[in-house]
C-alpha cells in the first residue's frame, strides 16, 4: 500500500466503499428537485429574518450549524466550508474535489470520467456538469467563483446567505 | 522575416507597447499574429546554475518562450522562481509556471512580485497535479487557490495594483497571463466553457496538454471558434515526441490527463526506429496544428529529449522563416578567456592599485 497524507477511497482508515458515493450521486441526479427545495428553504429562512435578528444571528448559529451539517453531510458529503455553492455547481459539492477546485474539472480527469487522485470516485466536476444541465439556474456553473475564505469554515452557509439576502432587500 | 524592436538586447526591458500588458517578447510575437513556439525546460535536480543555462541553450533561436515548470507531476525539482531568476539574467524569456498545489495565496503573491521584479513577463497559472502522482505522496497538498482564482488574483495585482487583501502595490507586476487547457479529458462538452471561464478570470494565452488526437482537437476548436474564444485568447497546442511505444504506454497510464490513442502506439510499435517515428509523428502533428483555424502557436514538450526541439521546429517549418530571439554570442567571451590565461601566467605577481585603476580606465 502506498503511504500518502491524503487518503483516497479504500486507503482511508475508515473504509469507504463505492456505495459511499450512492447518496451524493443520487443528489446530482435529482438536482432539479433539490434546487426547488433549496429555493423554498431559502425564502423560508429569509421570511424568518426578523426572528433570527430578534434571537441574534450569533446565538442561533450553533443549533443551525448542527442541523445543516447533518443534512448536507448526508446528501452531499458536505465539508462545511461555510460558503455553499451547491446551487451553482449542479448539487455536487466542489469541496469533495481532492484539489478543492471550485471552478471546473482539472485536466487530470480519467477517460472513464473518474478522479485523477481517487481512481474509484467519479469526478466531482463531471457530476456537477451533469447536474447543472437539469437545473433551471444551470448557467450558474459558468460563473467564476471567488477564492475560498478559510476563516468561514464550520459556520452556517444558510444563515450567511439569509443575512446577505436580507441586506440586499434592505438596499432596494 | 519579422523583426521586433529591441529583440537583440538581452539586458534592456522591451518598451511597453500600446494595448500590451507586459514587456515580453512572447506577447509581442503573438499580438503581431506570428505562430509562436514555446518549449519546456527540464528542471535540474541540482543547485548548479550551469545546468539551467545548458538546458536553456538547446532552445536558443528556436522558441519564443521557455516554460519553467513548478514541480510538474508533483515531483520535486529546482523551483520555477529559481530557474526564471537564472534565465532572465542571460536574456531568455521564461514563462513562469505557478502551481496551487504547493503554496498558499500569501506565498504565491509574493512570488509573483519577486518574479516580475526579476524581469519575468509571462506567468502560467496552474492548479497542479495531486501529490499522489509524484515522488513525495506523503506531502500535505495545499490547493488554497485554484487556477481560476489564481488568474483573478494576479490580474487584480496587475490591473488594479492591489493584493488580494486590497492592500495597494506601489508598482504592479506587468505580466502576460496564461493558463492550461486539456481538450482531451472528460467532460468534453464542458471543456470549451471552462476555457471561457479562464478567459473571464484573466487568461490571455493558454497552453494545452499533449495533442495526439487531431479529430478530438478539431471538435474542441470548432466549439471554441463558435464561441469566439480564439479572438479573446491565444491558444497554443501542446505537442511532443514519444521516445518509444513502451514510454507512450507508461505515460498514458501513469501521467494524469494524457490521452494517447491506440493508433499512435501501434504506429510506434510497428516502426523500425521508434524514437525516429515518435519525432515524425510530432512533426506531422505540429504541421497540421499550424494550419488549424484559431490556433496561435504550439508548445513543444520533449521531456528528456529537449535536444530534439530545435530539429522538430526546423524540420516542420512552422516558423516559416521567422527566427525567434537568439542569445548574441558574448563579444567579451574571448577577452575573458584571454584574461584568465593571462592571469594564470602572472600568478603570484600582485597588481598595484594604480595599475588596476589604469587598466580599468582603458
pLDDT higher than threshold 60 for residue A15: no
Would you say A81 and A148 are in contact if contact means Cβ atoms under 8 Å apart? yes
Tens digits of residue pLDDT in B190-201: 999 999 999 999
Mean pLDDT of chain B, nearest integer: 89
Contact A5 B197 (CB under 8 A): no
**pLDDT confidence bin for A86, thresholds 50/70/90:** very high
Residues present in chain B in total = 362
B8-34 burial string, b = 16+ CB within 10 Å, else e?
A: eeeeeebeeeeebbbbbbbbbbbeeeb
pLDDT digits 0-9 by tens, B131-183: 988 999 889 999 999 999 999 999 999 999 999 999 999 999 999 999 999 99
Split at pLDDT 50, 70, 90, the class of B9 is very low
Q: For residue B96, what pLDDT band results from cuts at 50, 70 and 90?
A: very high
Phi, psi of A78 (to 5 degrees): -60, 140
Q: What is the band of B6 on the pLDDT scale with cuts at 50, 70, 90?
A: very low
Interface size between A and B, measured as CB pairs under 8 A:
127
- Residue B64 cell numbers, joined: 519564443
Please check the confidence at residue B339 and state whether its pLDDT lies above 70: no
Ordered DSSP codes for A66-83: HHHHHHHHHHH-----SS
Distance from CA of B194 to the nearest CA of A (A): 7
Q: Which helix (H) or strand (E) holds A135?
A: none
pLDDT of residue B355: 53
Residue A8 predicted with pLDDT over 60: no
Whether residue A90 lies within 8 A of chain B, CB to CB, comes out as: no
**Each residue of B208-224: pLDDT tens digit?**
999 999 999 999 999 99
pLDDT at B7 over 90: no
Strand B36-41 relative to strand B65-68, pairing: parallel
Q: Rounded to whole angstroms, how far apart are CA atoms A140 and A129?
A: 11
B210's enclosing H/E stretch is strand B205-210
What average pLDDT does chain A have? 88
Nearest to residue A90, comparing CAs of A129, A126, A121, A123? Answer: A129
Whether the per-residue pLDDT at B185 is higher than 80: the answer is: yes
Q: What is the pLDDT of residue B337?
A: 55
Task: Return the residue matching grid coordinates 520555477.
Answer: B80
Residue indicated by cell numbers 478522479 = A115
Q: Are strands B176-181 and B234-239 parallel, antiparallel or unpaired?
A: unpaired
> No. of H helices and E strands in chain A?
6, 0
Chain length of chain A: 172
CA torsion through residues B78, B80, B83, B85, sign: negative
Nearest to A102 among B101, B138, B146 (CB): B146
* CA A60 – CA A83 distance, rounded (Å): 17
Average pLDDT, integer, range A26-51? 95
Using CA atoms, how far residue B71 sits from A141, B45, B53, B101, in Å, is 30, 11, 19, 9
Percent of chain B with pLDDT over 90: 79
Contact A125 B187 (CB under 8 A): yes
Amino acid at each position: 500500500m502506498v503511504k500518502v497524507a491524503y487518503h483516497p477511497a479504500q486507503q482511508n482508515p475508515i473504509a469507504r466503499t463505492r456505495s459511499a458515493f450512492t447518496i451524493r450521486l443520487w443528489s446530482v441526479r435529482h438536482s432539479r428537485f433539490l434546487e426547488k427545495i433549496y429555493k423554498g428553504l431559502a425564502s423560508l429562512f429569509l421570511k424568518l429574518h426578523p426572528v433570527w435578528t430578534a434571537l441574534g444571528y450569533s446565538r442561533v448559529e450553533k443549533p443551525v450549524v448542527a442541523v445543516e451539517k447533518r443534512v448536507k453531510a448526508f446528501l452531499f458529503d458536505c465539508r462545511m466550508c461555510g460558503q455553499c455553492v451547491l446551487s451553482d455547481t449542479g448539487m455536487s459539492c466542489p469541496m469533495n474535489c481532492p484539489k478543492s477546485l471550485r471552478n471546473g474539472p482539472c485536466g487530470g480527469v480519467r477517460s472513464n470520467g473518474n478522479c485523477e487522485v481517487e481512481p474509484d470516485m467519479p469526478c466531482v466536476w463531471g457530476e456537477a456538469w451533469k447536474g447543472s444541465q437539469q437545473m433551471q439556474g444551470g448557467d450558474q456553473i459558468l460563473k467564476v467563483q471567488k477564492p475560498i475564505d478559510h476563516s468561514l469554515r464550520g459556520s452556517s452557509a444558510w444563515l450567511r446567505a439569509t443575512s446577505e439576502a436580507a441586506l440586499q432587500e434592505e438596499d432596494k | 522575416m519579422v523583426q521586433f524592436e529591441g529583440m537583440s538586447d538581452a539586458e534592456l526591458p522591451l518598451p511597453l507597447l500600446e494595448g500590451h500588458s507586459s514587456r515580453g517578447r512572447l506577447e509581442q510575437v503573438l499580438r503581431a499574429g506570428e505562430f509562436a513556439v514555446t518549449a519546456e525546460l527540464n528542471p535540474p535536480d541540482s543547485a548548479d546554475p550551469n545546468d539551467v543555462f545548458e538546458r536553456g541553450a538547446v532552445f536558443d533561436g528556436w522558441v519564443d518562450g521557455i516554460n519553467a515548470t513548478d514541480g510538474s507531476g508533483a515531483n520535486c525539482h529546482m523551483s520555477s522562481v529559481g530557474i526564471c531568476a537564472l534565465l532572465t539574467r542571460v536574456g531568455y524569456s521564461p514563462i513562469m509556471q505557478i502551481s496551487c498545489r504547493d503554496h498558499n495565496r500569501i506565498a504565491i503573491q509574493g512570488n509573483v512580485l519577486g518574479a516580475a521584479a526579476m524581469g519575468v513577463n509571462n506567468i502560467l497559472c496552474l492548479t497542479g497535479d495531486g501529490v499522489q502522482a509524484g515522488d513525495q505522496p506523503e506531502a500535505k497538498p495545499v490547493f488554497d487557490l485554484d487556477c481560476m482564482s489564481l488568474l483573478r488574483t494576479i490580474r487584480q495585482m496587475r490591473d488594479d495594483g492591489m493584493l488580494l487583501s486590497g492592500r495597494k502595490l506601489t508598482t504592479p507586476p506587468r505580466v502576460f497571463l496564461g493558463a492550461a487547457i486539456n481538450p482531451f479529458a472528460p467532460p468534453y462538452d464542458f471543456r470549451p466553457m471552462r476555457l471561457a471561464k479562464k478567459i473571464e478570470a484573466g487568461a490571455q494565452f493558454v497552453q494545452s496538454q499533449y495533442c495526439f488526437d487531431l479529430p478530438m482537437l478539431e471538435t474542441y476548436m470548432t466549439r471554441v471558434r463558435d464561441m469566439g474564444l480564439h479572438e479573446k485568447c491565444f491558444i497554443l497546442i501542446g505537442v511532443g515526441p514519444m521516445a518509444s511505444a513502451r514510454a507512450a504506454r507508461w505515460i498514458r497510464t501513469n501521467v494524469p490527463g494524457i490521452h494517447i490513442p491506440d493508433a499512435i502506439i501501434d504506429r510506434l510499435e510497428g516502426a523500425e526506429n521508434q524514437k525516429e517515428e515518435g519525432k515524425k509523428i510530432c512533426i506531422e502533428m505540429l504541421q497540421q496544428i499550424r494550419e488549424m483555424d484559431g490556433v496561435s502557436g504550439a508548445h513543444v514538450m520533449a521531456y528528456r529529449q529537449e535536444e530534439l526541439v530545435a530539429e522538430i521546429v526546423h524540420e516542420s517549418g512552422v516558423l516559416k522563416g521567422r527566427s525567434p530571439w537568439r542569445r548574441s554570442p558574448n563579444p567579451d567571451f574571448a577577452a575573458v578567456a584571454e584574461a584568465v590565461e593571462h592571469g594564470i601566467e602572472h600568478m603570484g605577481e600582485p597588481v598595484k592599485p594604480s595599475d588596476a585603476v589604469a587598466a580599468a580606465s582603458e
